[in-house]
Every structure is written in structure tokens, then in C-alpha cells.
Amino acid sequence: MIAPGDVTPLTRNRGFMHHKVSEDDPLAHIPLFAQLSEQDRAAVRRLLTEVRIESGQVLAREGAFGHEFFVIISGTASVDRGGEHLADVGPGDFQGEISLLDGGVRTASITATSPMTILVATHQEFTSLLDTTPEIARRMLPALAHRVRVLTGDAHTH
């Protein structure tokens, strides 16, 4: 069994129950994918792995190299940086893209605060996802810009 706080690649961790997303999963209800065509959502489904996470499990550790991108289907998690709470995230939110895009380390730690179901893409799957469905990249940009502002202390609400 994996102890809370042990970080390993999510899709290879035997402590998690996981399986490829089935055709009937509701990707249309996830904001990142909602505007995609059914054909594009089918392509996305083929690339993602569903993973169940226990409360207390660390999904990403600040300063560690990232290996996955994930979208939260159910449950909640806490995002912390330098010991400071930044945000709570839940269904429809996505995490992990920054370190996959720039090859750097995780900018924050993410810990499950309830049991969760997430959809996970490895670096290769994430790159393929962006290459085959550019609309996803365009939909990520505002969230990325907001995260940069939060991390640099320049976030303002409108």
C-alpha cells in the first residue's frame, strides 16, 4: 500500500485502481472538453486513464518533476506552495500541465482532501492530446495565465 505523501507516477502506481476511460464517460460535462466535438472527445477518451485516489494522497509535490497531467472528475484537493494554501480544486479543474509544458518541476503540491476520481495523461499522451486537439491548448491558456499571476502574487479578481 502506498503511504500518503509518497509520490509516484499516477498511472503506474499499483496502489491506485485505474483503467482506460470508457466510451460512456461524461467528458462533455468537463469545461476543458465541453466545447469539443464528439469526434474530438472520443480522441481524448482514448488518451486518458481513469484513476481513483484516496483522501490524503499527494498527487503532486512542489519541486518534484512532473510526469502527468490530470483532470478532476470527482472529489477535491488542496493546492499549496511553500506551505501556503493557494486554492481548493474540484470537478472540472485540471493540474500538472505547467511542468509538462516546460519540463520543469511542479510549482505547487496537490493533496487529495477527499476520495477522488481523476483522468490522467502521461507526458506523451498530453503532448498527443495537444497536437491532435489544439482547442484544448487554447482553452488552457487563460487558466495558465491566471496561475502565473497567482504564483507571482499578481492575481486580481475582476
Taking each helix axis from N to C end, the angle separating 123-132 and 134-151, rounded to the nearest 10 degrees, works out to: 120
Establish how many alpha carbons lie within 13 A of residue 80's alpha carbon, considering only the half-sphere containing its beta carbon: 13
Reported as a single tens digit per residue, the pLDDT across 54-79 is: 999 999 999 999 899 899 999 999 99
- How many Cβ atoms from other residues are within 10 Å of residue 22's Cβ? 8
The structure's pTM equals 0.75
Reported as a single tens digit per residue, the pLDDT across 12-61 is: 443 444 444 444 556 888 888 877 888 888 888 888 899 999 999 999 99
- Of the candidates 85, 77, 84, the residue with the CA atom closest to the CA atom of residue 110: 77
